[in-house]
Amino acid sequence: MKLLTFVLLLAIGTRPLLAQGAPPQSAPDQPYTMEYYYKVQWGHQQEFKQLFLKNHYPLLRKMVDSGRMLSVKIETPANHMTEDARWDYRVTIRFKNSTLATTANPDEERLIKQLWPDQTTYQREEQRRFEILLAHWDLPVTDITPLQP
């Protein structure tokens, strides 16, 4: 009986927590937006940006050209934040749909080898980009702006 009571209390208590963080899902064939945040070691923001633009952005552009993604936008905050809230770069990607946003791209390895024939340099620079990265998180976002009558 105690176990049943505990399970019921746990289910009731956690239900609002689960519902709170779950954004409404769009229709399967609708665009799906993800924001990718990057927090870089202090003083290495420019180095990270250079490596990102050289070794990752061209791959994202290829995915836009292929139709997998609809757009890519890179932003940086105009003002400073507290250290715990700080992020240095936000990359917003609009995918064609949620399936493409949440599954691996089967062409990615081929594209990487095509874009960067010197794989030794590419691997070394990508390793450096991640060495100076303090944190990275992905956030799916849903536009809930009401339609105008």
Angle, vertex CA 56, rays to CA 52 and CA 62, nearest 5: 140
* CATH top-level class of 31-141: alpha beta
Joined tokens for residue 81: 């934040």
Q: What is the pLDDT of residue 3?
A: 43
In whole angstroms, give the CA distance from residue 149 to residue 137. 36
The sheet with strand 133-141 has its strands ordered as 69-75, 89-95, 32-40, 133-141
Q: What is the pLDDT along the chain (149 residues), one digit of tens a residue?
A: 554 443 344 444 444 444 444 445 567 789 999 999 999 999 999 999 999 999 999 999 999 999 999 999 999 999 989 999 999 999 999 999 999 999 999 999 999 999 999 999 999 999 999 999 999 999 999 988 898 87
Q: Hey, how many other C-beta atoms are within 10 angstroms of the C-beta on 46?
A: 9
pLDDT value at position 89? 98
The full set of domain ranges for the chain reads: 31-141
**pLDDT reported for residue 126:** 98
Q: What pLDDT score was predicted for residue 26? A: 61
| pLDDT for position 135 | 97
The pLDDT of residue 74 is: 98
